[in-house]
Chain A
Amino acid sequence: MRKPLATAIAIAIGLIVLLGYFLPGTLLFEIRLELVHWAVILTGVAVLVGVFNLFSVHVEKIRNRQKGNVYSLFLIATLLFSFLFGLAFGPDHVTIRLLFEAVVIPVEASLMAILAVTLIYASIRLLRKRLDLMTVIFLATAFLVLLGTAPFPFGEIPILGSLIRPMIVNVPAVAGARGIMLGVALGTLTTGLRILLGADRPYGSN
């Protein structure tokens, strides 16, 4: 009973929202507005469900004394603290902001900084691991674009920054990027239509 009901709801809601794109100023447009608003509310609930799932997984890990359960203790502790504190005082509270600035930003930014080392290391080993035409083109393009990104400390090579880099970025890169974006859009269109026609049911077949 739930399976055809869920499918019917997905198709009906989706068609109403889609038709609202092409029928502005009608009752369908108003219905579409309300439906999208409800979806936004459900998204907030989905965030809570995701966070609670993370919590339960690590609690289970601690309960079963699995490997790495000590780390889960840190996660549970900090999660409870930040959630309860934020729930009580709001996310705009100075303490929460302090916690955010002291933990979230430094850790995430540091992870991004390590990426610079990892990318250089990977580019060094790239040709050793895999030597073909596409790899050479890829590495050569990256090298030339980096060369033209910023001037050298001892001076700027004009042809690099003003000719080579713009020529690479604005012509072939744009062509490839546009093709990729069109491909993504076509794929999104196809997938969306499959869902709206009931061919795909990613919301669960229970």
Chain B
Amino acid sequence: MSLSPAFISGFLGFILTLLVFSYVLGDNPLFRITIYIFVGVSAGYVAAVAWHQVLWPNLFLPLITGSMAERLLLLIPLILSILLLMKISPSLSKLGTVPMAFLVGVGAAVAVGGAVMGTIFPQLRASINMLDVNAAALQGIHPAEQLIEGSIILVGITSTLIYFHFGAKPVPGGSAQRHKIIEGIALLGRVFIAITFGVLFAGVYSAAMTALIERLNSFLTFFALL
């Protein structure tokens, strides 16, 4: 048995895995210590990565080695970065509003463009194409089967979207109630959502089971090193 990096990492991993598994018995200080260590290491690592792989190569290195045009152009993100760092201080945090507005503006525009071009249009197109029996026939799918599937999917999409419509009219008694037709369709949408969440639950459990298997398998790897 040699104190190789693999052994050290294996040993630490084994100990920490057991400490985390102790949570099954109940919350305990060792589990908390493990979690706090994990957060500390992760945060430190992320900060180091942010410097080494973002700020240094994209901001400071071009400011030092880049052309005059690049330098002048990079003054703006440099100033914005300094203003954003003011968020650390409670008294100077107001100075960080401008770079935050910059980030929010860019993020909003990116999200809007991506949602429209990447989800809404393609998904609607795909929903319509579900009823294309010719394309299904080319793929060897029976038209009736395609139609049935397409209709169910179309009904499911519609009812699911209607379920999230919460416009209601006030009724006597102080409460608000949706239209009866809307309520009926929303109920059908709830059924589709329940099915989707059931499939999601099965998927999450599969992932968790795989993680458990991997962890137990790592014990074998560690024991093999002994």
- A124: chain B residues within 8 A (beta carbon): none
**A68 CB to nearest chain B CB (Å):** 8
A31-69 interface bits toward B, Cβ cutoff 8 Å, 1 = contact, 0 = none: 000111111111111111101111110000000000010
Number of interface residues of B (CB under 8 A): 115
Question: Are A17 and B47 in contact, CB atoms less than 8 angstroms apart?
Answer: no
- B158: chain A residues within 8 A (beta carbon): 179
Number of interface residues of A (CB under 8 A): 124
**B55 CB to nearest chain A CB (Å):** 5
Q: Kindly state whether residue A157 has any CB partner on chain B within 8 Å.
A: no
- Cα distance A18–B105 when bound, in Å? 10
- Cα distance A188–B41 when bound, in Å? 34
Question: Are B55 and A45 in contact, CB atoms less than 8 angstroms apart?
Answer: yes
Secondary structure dominating the interface of B: helix
Question: Are B160 and A180 in contact, CB atoms less than 8 angstroms apart?
Answer: yes
> Which residue from B21, B119, B209 sits with its C-beta under 8 Å from A182?
B119
Question: Are B97 and A2 in contact, CB atoms less than 8 angstroms apart?
Answer: yes
B21-40 interface bits toward A, Cβ cutoff 8 Å, 1 = contact, 0 = none: 10110000000111111111
B63-99 interface bits toward A, Cβ cutoff 8 Å, 1 = contact, 0 = none: 0000000000100110011001101100001101111
Q: Kindly state whether residue A138 has any CB partner on chain B within 8 Å.
A: yes
B165's nearest neighbour on chain A, judged by CB, is A183
Question: Are B109 and A18 in contact, CB atoms less than 8 angstroms apart?
Answer: yes
> Which residue from A44, A100, A113, A191 sits with its C-beta under 8 Å from B55?
A44
- A127: chain B residues within 8 A (beta carbon): none
- B44: chain A residues within 8 A (beta carbon): 51, 78-86
> Which residue from A84, A107, A116, A137 sits with its C-beta under 8 Å from B20?
A107
B173-200 interface bits toward A, Cβ cutoff 8 Å, 1 = contact, 0 = none: 0000000000000000111111111110
Q: Kindly state whether residue B223 has any CB partner on chain A within 8 Å.
A: no
Question: Are A47 and B46 in contact, CB atoms less than 8 angstroms apart?
Answer: yes
Question: Are A71 and B36 in contact, CB atoms less than 8 angstroms apart?
Answer: yes
> Which residue from A46, A169, A196 sits with its C-beta under 8 Å from B84?
A46
Give how many A-B residue pairs fall within 8 Å (CB-CB): 402
Question: Are B23 and A56 in contact, CB atoms less than 8 angstroms apart?
Answer: no
**A11 CB to nearest chain B CB (Å):** 7
Question: Are B204 and A119 in contact, CB atoms less than 8 angstroms apart?
Answer: yes
Query: Which of A11, A117, A175, A181 has the most C-beta atoms of chain B within 10 angstroms of its own C-beta?
Result: A175
- A96: chain B residues within 8 A (beta carbon): 45, 48
Q: Kindly state whether residue A163 has any CB partner on chain B within 8 Å.
A: no
**B16 CB to nearest chain A CB (Å):** 5
**A77 CB to nearest chain B CB (Å):** 7
Given contacts A109-B215, A196-B112, contact A101 B13 (CB under 8 A): yes
Question: Are A14 and B106 in contact, CB atoms less than 8 angstroms apart?
Answer: yes
- Cα distance A124–B203 when bound, in Å? 17
Q: Which chain A residues in 84-105 approach chain B with CB under 8 Å?
A: 84-87, 90-91, 94, 96, 98-105
Question: Are A145 and B12 in contact, CB atoms less than 8 angstroms apart?
Answer: no
Given contacts A113-B208, A179-B161, A182-B123, contact A104 B112 (CB under 8 A): no
Interchain Cβ contacts under 8 Å between A and B, 29 examples: A7-B101, A9-B105, A21-B117, A41-B55, A42-B102, A46-B84, A51-B50, A74-B40, A83-B43, A87-B47, A91-B48, A98-B5, A103-B38, A106-B218, A112-B207, A114-B20, A114-B21, A116-B209, A116-B212, A123-B201, A141-B195, A149-B202, A171-B153, A173-B196, A176-B195, A178-B123, A178-B127, A179-B157, A204-B100
Known: A43-B54, A45-B50, A173-B198. 11 other contacts (CB 8 A): A14-B109, A39-B103, A41-B59, A44-B54, A81-B40, A84-B44, A99-B41, A169-B199, A173-B196, A175-B152, A203-B104
- Top 5 nearest A-B pairs by Cβ distance? A175-B156, A179-B160, A86-B48, A141-B198, A82-B44
